[in-house]
Amino acid sequence: MEVPSCQSRSSYDDCKKTADWLLVRTKQRPRVAIICGSGLGALADLIDDKMVFPYQDIPGFPTSTVAGHAGQLVFGKLQDRECVCMEGRFHYYEGYSIHTVTYPVRVFFLLGVETLIVTNAAGGVNGSYNVGDIMVIKDHINLPGFCGQSPLVGHNDDRFGVRFPCMSDAYDRNLRTLAIQTAHEQNCGGFLQEGVYCMVVGPTFETIAESNILQRFGADAVGMSTVPEVVAARQCGLRVLGLSLITNKAVTDYDSNEKANHEEVLATTGLRARDLQRLVRHLVTKI
């Protein structure tokens, strides 16, 4: 397997070359982009009039190395709305720079995308959450950002956005309201939550002490992705909706015999993926 390069190629010119390459090869002009998390790539199956680009064929794109991530960009129509779907994302723990992780988001911006829907598989930190719940993300805690790992570190190109973007409104309030309304319309309200997502680098799952700390921080769910993409999207002025599928419960008790593992994550996404697909499909028509 090819080792991912940690070198950053995320300049405006690099991103524009990628965007221009895609625009020449598809007639689709999407205004909505969807990033699929672990095991959630089936969202791309809902798209009609597909045009598929494997990541390895796209100039400037890295390739995903994680099970449950197909590694392709899918253009097409979802309920007659032109969309682009990223079937598999990139993670910092794979060895990519944080700028490379967010490269696709900047490309989406240059494609003309206005709204980004990010999905992920997450561990439930909130004790009232159940495996299989869907959490609408209302805010996030960027632990890697506390340590300087931000896609905005370094030279700022004003063509992407301002040097100091606001993050108090990272997750669009109107989109969150719309998602909650749509979930109830699609009979998903019984397992719907709204809460705070915390990003850790991984790839290890959290220790018991770490899970307890995250609870005290105010986190409701924890995962290893999403936040860098949201930061880059907000700098570019994209509206963002985040959805977490709770695939396991964080272990907070030393007497527990529970152990988080990636196989459990993929198994749970398989069971609940259809509900999440239905929610996203009907939501897109309202955006």
Domains of the chain, CATH where assigned: 12-284 (3.40.50.1580)
- pTM of structure: 0.89
Cα 70 from Cα 75, distance rounded (Å): 15
**pLDDT at position 266, please?**
64
Q: Beta-carbon neighbour count of residue 188 at 10 Å?
A: 20
Structure-block tokens of residue 203: 């790839």
Catalytic residues: 38, 69, 91, 93-94, 121, 224-225, 248, 262
pLDDT in tens for each of the 287 residues of the chain?
Answer: 344 443 445 799 999 999 999 999 999 999 999 998 866 677 778 888 899 999 999 998 887 655 544 689 999 998 889 999 998 888 999 889 999 999 999 999 999 999 999 999 899 999 999 888 999 999 999 999 999 899 999 999 999 999 999 999 999 999 999 999 999 998 888 899 999 999 999 899 899 999 999 999 999 999 999 999 999 999 999 999 999 999 888 888 787 767 666 666 666 666 777 888 889 888 998 88
DSSP reduced 3-state for 33: strand
Rg, the chain, Cα only: 18
pLDDT score, position 62: 81
Contact 269, 68 (CB under 8 A): yes
DSSP 159: T
Cβ distance 53 to 145 under 8 Å?
no
Closest by CA to 118, choosing from 251, 238, 271, 215, is 238
Cα separation, 109 vs 238, whole angstroms: 7
